[in-house]
Amino acid sequence: MTRDTAHPYLMALLNPSGGEPPVTEEGESEWAQAVEGAEAQDLSPIVFRWLVERSEHRPVLRRLAAGLRPRMAQRAARSMFLAEELALILKSLDQRGIACIPIRGPALATQLYGDPTARFFGDLDLLVQRTQLSEVGTALAELDYREVDRRPGFAKTYSYTLEFVKERPARVCVEPHWTIAYPPFADCMDMDAVWARAVPGRVVGVDTLLLSRSDLLLHLCFHLIHKGAQAPLLWWYELDLVIRQEPDTLDWTQVLHMARQTGQHELLAGLLGEVRALLGSPIPAPIFTQLRAPSEPVPRNFLYRRLTPLLRGDSDVDGRESLAHLLTMRGFQAKWRYACGILFPSSDFMRAHYGLSGRPWLGFRYMARLLYFLWEGGKGLVGLVAIRPTPRQSPPYQASLEPPRSITSRRRGSLPQAVASKPQGPATP
């Protein structure tokens, strides 16, 4: 099920202007389908709270809530465990004088629902400063985390995040990001300005910094664009909440500026249009006009004109960000090193990402990964030739291909920093 085919009862729960769906004994099977659909879209906690709040004198809702309760208790325990782990990490970083902003996960649950366990999350994401990555790694190592990388130094050279894993008492993955954007736009974000706008907050019982409302909106938009069709309906709902809650703290002028600065204004216009159509989000109409306004005319070439549909997700190419970054990367050596890291990562990376416990399946997985990415890359290249470019005065991805000098200064021949660190798509081998 996708957000376009979500059950009408589920959509009515999410849209404040849609009115509550009917609750009758005859409609219990419909409600059961809606609850099942909520699980697929990571919305079970939202639906469960709604059922409990309205279950008095409604046997149908009480039965549905009772069916969900064991699963909710199990997942809430996992969320509490991760919240406690985040508290340990934040305290450790603070003791070392390392600036940190928790993003998504418990931080987002606290900001939107007032409860760090109110939504499910699989890992812990942190925003740190790039200059402090070594200190972050040392702090996590002291908490028994180990770094998982495609190859030694690959993530620091190419990616937008590192990855650390701890297996006991339960598996936890921590990802320290140094930007709130994603490939191929990661280097275009003025992170100094993002840090300057950070606001004090409290998450999992620890005083910390949080993203400003405008930067939180941008990050959630970028994350939705990054995941594409994989994004569950929950993420769209939470984007709507960010827009609706505390509207006085949302600086749309800043959102417009940062969208254009990163070159993602056209993508952002499409995404915000979707969330408004889906959930009736109160987005000012002039925002769309300004996001879609063409930039100053710049020279265009074959590649520039065709990246827009590819990154917007018009094609079904898995790993489209990785392909776009490879194509826009400068220098054959950089392209070769990047491609080798993507296609043939370390055995430790393969075991961690595919759950392999021994060597017998490792060779098979390498071959399957190679064939899969070659197939998807071929589809992407064919699509770049076949698709009809959008008639614009300037390509919306110009900033990602040639970042402003005031934001990212590159020496001749230097390697770009933003590369997708994970294969895109649940079917990736």
Greatest mean pLDDT among 111-120, 193-202, 328-337 lies in: 193-202
Q: Is the predicted pLDDT of residue 325 greater than 80, yes or no?
A: no
Question: Is the separation of the CB atoms in 51 and 65 below 8 Å?
Answer: yes
pLDDT for 297 equals 47
For residues 323 and 143, the model is more confident at: 143
Q: Is the predicted pLDDT of residue 383 greater than 80, yes or no?
A: no
pLDDT for 415 equals 27
pLDDT for 355 equals 74
pLDDT for 416 equals 28
Q: Is the predicted pLDDT of residue 423 greater than 90, yes or no?
A: no
pLDDT for 296 equals 53
Rounded to an integer, the average pLDDT of 34-53 is: 91
Q: Is the predicted pLDDT of residue 72 greater than 70, yes or no?
A: yes
Mean pLDDT of all residues in the chain? 82
Rounded to an integer, the average pLDDT of 31-47 is: 91
Residue 386 is which amino acid? A
Greatest mean pLDDT among 181-190, 315-324, 404-413 lies in: 181-190
Rounded to an integer, the average pLDDT of 68-87 is: 93
pLDDT band at 200 (very low <50, low <70, confident <90, very high): very high
pLDDT for 131 equals 94
Rounded to an integer, the average pLDDT of 33-62 is: 90
User: DSSP assignment of 174-240, as one string?
Assistant: EEEES-SS-TTSGGGS-HHHHHHH-EEEEETTEEEEE--HHHHHHHHHHHHHHHGGG--HHHHHHHH
For 296, the 3-state DSSP assignment is: coil
pLDDT band at 250 (very low <50, low <70, confident <90, very high): very high
Q: Is the predicted pLDDT of residue 103 greater than 70, yes or no?
A: yes
pLDDT for 22 equals 82
Alpha-carbon gap, residue 269 to 388, rounded angstroms: 20
Structural tokens at position 393: 């005065």
pLDDT band at 82 (very low <50, low <70, confident <90, very high): very high
Rounded to an integer, the average pLDDT of 1-13 is: 76
Q: In this predicted model, what pLDDT tens digit does every residue of 341-358 receive, in sequence order?
A: 888 888 888 877 777 766
For residue 289, what are the contacts with CB-CB under 8 A and spacing of at least 6?
none
Tell me which residue of 41, 55, 72, 74 sits closest to 238, measured CA to CA: 41
pLDDT band at 95 (very low <50, low <70, confident <90, very high): very high
Rounded to an integer, the average pLDDT of 198-222 is: 95
Q: Is the predicted pLDDT of residue 149 greater than 50, yes or no?
A: yes
Rounded to an integer, the average pLDDT of 122-149 is: 95
According to DSSP, the residues that pair with 175 across neighbouring strands are 125
User: DSSP assignment of 53-119, as one string?
Assistant: HT-TT-HHHHHHHHHHHHHHHHHHHHHHHHHHHHHHHHHHHHHTT--EEEESHHHHHHHHHS-TTSS
Which of these ranges, 154-158, 220-224, 319-323, 393-397, has the smallest mean pLDDT? 393-397
| Domain locations along the chain | 73-210, 302-401
What percentage of residues in the chain have a pLDDT greater than 90?
43
Domain spanning 73-210, CATH architecture: 2-Layer Sandwich (3.30)
pLDDT for 316 equals 66
3-state helix, strand, coil split of the chain in percent (to 5) is 55, 5, 35
Question: Is the separation of the CB atoms in 148 and 163 below 8 Å?
Answer: yes
Greatest mean pLDDT among 150-164, 321-335, 339-353, 381-395 lies in: 150-164
Q: Is the predicted pLDDT of residue 306 greater than 80, yes or no?
A: no
Q: Is the predicted pLDDT of residue 144 greater than 50, yes or no?
A: yes
pLDDT band at 4 (very low <50, low <70, confident <90, very high): low
Q: Is the predicted pLDDT of residue 126 greater than 50, yes or no?
A: yes
Q: In this predicted model, what pLDDT tens digit does every residue of 253-303 receive, in sequence order?
A: 999 999 988 888 888 998 999 999 999 999 999 999 898 886 654 444 556
pLDDT for 393 equals 39
Q: Is the predicted pLDDT of residue 309 greater than 90, yes or no?
A: no
Which of these ranges, 122-131, 249-258, 330-339, has the smallest mean pLDDT? 330-339
